[in-house]
Amino acid sequence: MRSCLHIVFLSASMLLFALIATSEQAQTARVNAPAPAFTATDSHGQAHSLDHYKGKYVVLEWHNQGCPFTRKHYESGNMQALQKQWTEKGVVWFTVISSAEGKEGYVTPSQENEYMAKMHASPTAALLDPEGKLGRLYNAKTTPNMFVIDPQGKLIYSGAIDDRPSTDLDDVKGADNFVSDALSAAMSGKPVANPHTRSYGCSVKYRD
């Protein structure tokens, strides 16, 4: 008699197992899919979790202050202008540094704060990721490499910052900025025209 209940229970757990096994999906950053959740610490020691910013647009900017491609956008003032423009509209802007200790672009918290003050950079926060966890989670390949997440937590853009893959400061002017394109389109309820582009720049200096 008892065995009947056992069998019913087992069948149910078999089903449950199957459903769990089916729902197992590797978390990767793919456009038009939910952006992988993360928690990271900024240069002021404060933790930021993506979940916390549900309801807001979030921009991730992979950064390496020694990389000539990144420097093009900072020395021309382009990146700072973007940060100012979009954070004023309520966008959360994270500069992410995934350079491992000893590699180009690695900074201590105070070095990063100094750098941001000197460059007049105004991201919401600069996330320090020397272990490369966040970088690998999003498969960030280059600096810069830009990601835009919509208020529902969906990744709506990944790729290059603009259409001029060069280190020439003159190329900033007249470039088609893909991050601004994505944010403008999404905010006016339109689909992002180019949700994925090939990012350009230096490779992210991950830990080996």
Partner 1 sequence: MRLLRTIAAVAFALAAGAPLFGASSAADLPHVHVQLIAPDAQFHPGQNNAGLYFKLESGWHVYWKNPGDAGEPPHMKWSLPPGVTAGAILYPVPKRLPLGPLMDFGYEDEVVFPFQVNVSGNSAGGAPTLHAKVDWLVCRGSCIPEKTELEITRPIGQGGGTVEPDQQIWARLANRLPQAPPAGLKIGFVPTSSGFRLTVITGQRETEASFFPSKPDILSNPAPQAVTTTANGLTLDLKKDENLAANPKELTGLLLLSGNRAYELVVPSGAPKPAKAAPLESGPVANTSSVPTTSAPGSAAASPATPAKTSLVQAAFLAFLGGLILNLMPCVFPVLFIKGLSLLQSGAEEKHKLRTHGLVYTLGILVSFWILVGVLLGLRSAGSHLGWGFQFQSPVFLSLMAALLFFLGLSLAGQFEIGLTLTSAGGSLAAKQGYTGSFFTGVLAVIVATPCTAPFMGVALGYALSQTAIVTFAVFTALALGLAAPYLALTLQPAWTRILPRPGAWMEVLKQAVSVPIFGTVIWLAWVIANAYGAMLLAALLVSFLLLAIAGWFLGRWPAKRWATAVAVAFLAIVVVTSVVVPKQLAVSEQAPTQAGSSAGWQPWSADAVSRYQSQGRPVFVDFTASWCLSCQVNERVALGKPEVQKAFADANVVLMRADWTRYDDNITRTLNSFGRSGVPTYALYVPGESQPRLLPEVLTPGIVTNALAGLTHGSTQTAVSSSKQQ
Task: Please tell me the distance from the alpha carbon of residue 179 to that of residue 190, in angstroms, as a whole number.
Answer: 14
Question: Could you say whether residue 68 binds partner 1 (CB under 8 A)?
Answer: yes
Question: Could you say whether residue 37 binds partner 1 (CB under 8 A)?
Answer: no
Task: Please tell me the distance from the alpha carbon of residue 26 to that of residue 139, in angstroms, as a whole number.
Answer: 13
Which one, 11 or 49, has the nearer CB to partner 1? 11
Gyration radius of the chain over CA positions:
20
Binding region for partner 1 (CB under 8 A) out of 27-35, 40-48, 75-83, 111-119: 27-35
Residue among 161, 160, 150, 148 at smallest CA distance from 189: 150
Which one, 68 or 109, has the nearer CB to partner 1? 68
Binding region for partner 1 (CB under 8 A) out of 66-74, 80-88, 109-117, 121-129: 66-74
With tokens 């729902």, the residue in question is 23
Question: Could you say whether residue 197 binds partner 1 (CB under 8 A)?
Answer: yes
Question: Could you say whether residue 63 binds partner 1 (CB under 8 A)?
Answer: no
Handedness of CA 197, 125, 85, 187 (dihedral sign): positive
Binding region for partner 1 (CB under 8 A) out of 30-38, 39-47, 81-89, 112-120: 30-38
Residue 184: phi and psi, rounded to 5, are: -60, -45
In order of 52, 89, 116, the CA distances from 55 in angstroms are 9, 13, 27
User: Residue 90, by phi and psi: left (phi above 0), alpha (psi -120 to 50) or beta?
Assistant: left
Site string for partner 1, 124-143 (x = CB under 8 A): --------x---x--x-xx-
Question: Could you say whether residue 180 binds partner 1 (CB under 8 A)?
Answer: no
Binding region for partner 1 (CB under 8 A) out of 38-46, 78-86, 118-126, 193-201: 193-201
Question: Could you say whether residue 84 binds partner 1 (CB under 8 A)?
Answer: no
In order of 108, 127, 181, 201, the CA distances from 188 in angstroms are 39, 29, 11, 30
Question: How far apart are CB 194 and partner 1 at their closest, in Å?
Answer: 4
Q: State the DSSP code for 51.
A: G
- Tokens representing 200 are 């350009």
Question: Could you say whether residue 198 binds partner 1 (CB under 8 A)?
Answer: yes
Beta-bridge mates of residue 42 = 127
Instruction: Catalog residues that contact partner 1 under the rule CB under 8 A.
Output: 1-4, 6-8, 10-11, 13-15, 17-19, 21-23, 25, 28-34, 66-69, 103-104, 132, 136, 139, 141-142, 158, 160, 163-167, 176, 178, 191, 193-198, 200-208
